[in-house]
Structure 1
């Protein structure tokens, strides 16, 4: 048996030990908490949420942007030519305005991607043989020259559109733009199949959907005319 004075000393010693243990646990908790913040910051420092996706791209993404920019630019040029004319079918005018409204912002996005990736706005020789870039030859009726991808109009095609007037201009624009859209869809499908950059793949999917709808509408206009 422990007498009264000794029992008091034992209880005091145990209470002191518990206090030290509690302080130690609290201190350890604080230490772990304070350590976790720098670790999180350190992990996030090399690659932020903004910069990381810009690096997740491949050659197909680059080829898609480099090819689709001039492709879109020509579609806008074709639309501008048509919109400068008189006596054009109002439905065709609306379509041309729709094409400009859709493709202008897409050009800006693609230029931004290429800038972020640190690559040229135009493809280098041989780029047409890379994944994501359709062949620049072999498209019936069109001379692609050094431009974009399938469905591009030749200089002769553009001159013919410039010269056409009224109903003839409407019909020629529709005929040319159908081929132009088919080329864009082929390029976009290659990006969907081979691309890595999520925003580029998403744009390609949108192009496939929207331009196929426009092809259907243009075919209907030609049939009605």
Structure 2
């Protein structure tokens, strides 16, 4: 240390002082970081603490959260099936715009809900029309005849059928989301339920206006 002090404090050329001083500061910083490493927080910096915290949060769900996710996945999937028909069957630009908005919102929500179910060790409902038929008792779900009639329609007939069916479908989703907001325990799920209810209530109002103008 005597040699370092001598070089820093004066008896050496200024170039040497400029070269040595950063090295001294760097060594001091390394020693300081090493001392801090013994404060018991290392697990958090490696990510283990964060993982444990996330696991604890994920565990704070109840049967209502599971029922909401397992119900909303097929509910959303049927809405997407209906919305995707609008691209080449609807005559109204407003109907096509609403359908596109529904698809943009609900497709990623299916991924979120499915991810929660997998994290909780619960079954994710299967996809396809046959799977939807097993959920027709849920509020707003359409039966096979309804979906066939929509698929066979075009033009203004499609517009009317789509809007009428989607209003009922949305009303069912709002009822499911409202139950989750009251009875759910998992904060992200209750927050998503609130978003779903708010967005779909607004779309119900919009679609009812369109039905009244036709």
TM superposition score normalised by structure 2:
0.73
Structure 1 gaps of 5+ residues are 1-32, 124-143
How far apart, in 2, do the equivalents of 1:207 and 1:223 lie? 24
Indicate the SS of the match to 1:208: helix
Alignment of structure 1 residues 141-220 onto 2, 5 Å: 145-147=133-135, 149-220=138-209
Superposition CA RMSD, Å: 2.3
Could you say which structure has the higher helix fraction? 2
The aligned counterpart of 1:66 is: 70
- Asked which structure has the greater CA Rg, the reply is 1
How far apart, in 1, do the equivalents of 2:153 and 2:101 lie? 21
On the 8 A contact 2:178/2:197 being kept in 1, the answer is yes
C-alpha deviation, 1:163, in angstroms: 1.0
- 1:163-184 per-position Cα deviation (integer Å, ceiling 9, x unaligned): 1110010010000000000000
On the 8 A contact 2:133/2:144 being kept in 1, the answer is no
TM superposition score normalised by structure 1:
0.70
How far apart, in 1, do the equivalents of 2:50 and 2:207 lie? 50
C-alpha deviation, 1:72, in angstroms: 0.2
On the 8 A contact 2:61/2:184 being kept in 1, the answer is yes
C-alpha deviation, 1:192, in angstroms: 0.4
How far apart, in 2, do the equivalents of 1:189 and 1:74 lie? 20
Which of 106, 127, 132 lines up with 1:103 in the alignment? Answer: 106
The aligned counterpart of 1:84 is: 88
Q: Residue 55 in 1 paired to residue 50 in 2?
A: no
On the 8 A contact 2:140/2:171 being kept in 1, the answer is yes
Which of 26, 38, 41 lines up with 2:40 in the alignment? Answer: 38
How far apart, in 1, do the equivalents of 2:169 and 2:58 lie? 29
Size of the aligned set, in residue pairs, is 171
Alignment of structure 1 residues 126-141 onto 2, 5 Å: none
Q: Which segment is superposed worse, 147-156 or 159-168?
A: 147-156
